A and B are shown apart, each in its own frame.
Chain A
Amino acid sequence: MNTIPLDLQIVNALAALLLLLSFSMLSQRRIVSLVNLLAMQGLLLTVATLMVAWRTGETHLYLSGLLTFALKVLFLPWLLHRLIRRLEVYWDTEPLLNIPGTMLVGVLIVVFAFGLAQPIAELASETTRNSIGIAVAVILLSFLMMITRSKAMSQVVGFLSMENGLFFGAMSTTRGMPMVVELGIALDILVAMLVLGVFFFQIREQFDSLDLHHLESLKEGD
């Protein structure tokens, strides 16, 4: 049995935790907890980035780890919590598909994601065997969460978690994207959050609720 170096084992463990967090987000209906889970995801991502940085000695990965920490662990959760308090949305309504059903679909998606990652993983270095599959799974699970939730706030959380998955995939397979790209993405997320924040207020102003069902009335009539 060949021994995997300790740092790699840690990265793999972090990846597994990331997947687990995705599932717990899928089953969580309290929005406050959802944001906390997102923050935890960010924390895991930071640690994983720092591990990879330490392993490969790429200095810009340290930077990007710090950026992740500042943005995804501190700033965005703080912003979301503030929004939740001001908008007074603590609970999501019953999801469109019930939670056990969603979990089952999620399992299928993970299988699909690993199947998908198989041929790519064989080409990749040993560092990344499992992380590609996990990254794809996290992306698809977050997508699933966006589909099944009806409150705008949970969809934003899904969106951010999707970005986390993308970031993890990029970081673990290619030792991080170029710094410019990472900065660009970070800025995008920030701007998207701010715009969405404004949107929330507008939506609530208009419909007295953040429930996206109300947007159906915007559809062009027959």
Chain B
Amino acid sequence: MSQVFALVGFFEIVLVLFMQWEIYTRKIITTFSVASYVVAAFLLYLGVSKDLPYVVALSIITAVVRGFFIPWYMKRCIVRDQWREREIKPVISTAMSIIISLLIVVFAYILYRVTFFNTLHLREGSIPMALLLQGAFLIISRRNAFIQLIGYMTMENALFLFEGYLFPGLPFIIEAGVVLDLIGVIAIAGVVVRMMKDSSSDVNDFDELKG
């Protein structure tokens, strides 16, 4: 099982690295959708092999909500404006993003070994940590609100993967609540992002929001 987890984790990291280097929003959303399907497939495998019906149900929810519904909703919100279709001015240049995102993977490994490893005793534990940090980096390195949202959901995916693998017995009602909240956040965020477009494409000139 740990080998499958390591393989899935490695694949997830590759997908997130692709997101870091990509500038087209639609492609990033599609990549996120693929990453969610991978997490769902892993949970399905876990649920079937360990005979845990809750985990199977969770994998179906993950596939439907994160793999299909959220990417579909986000793509629907995207209209063909230049500033929305691709990241025109990322906070950090693409070249620098590549270097930093690779360094993050190394940093996550070192951080995990010196902090959590002694308690968790799980060799692959640095994978979710790397994914969490990559998600956070995606949020701070981009101005495009949709990509920031993908960064947030990447962090959530990392947690689902981690928790599904280590603690598959977490009460189902809580998992369902988390997913429902995620749908709510995405729906509200979709509305807000739409309004941001109607108002302005430049979010720097807000004097009152400083200090």
A and B co-occur in one complex: no
Q: Name B's A-contacting residues (CB within 8 A).
A: none
Q: Name A's B-contacting residues (CB within 8 A).
A: none
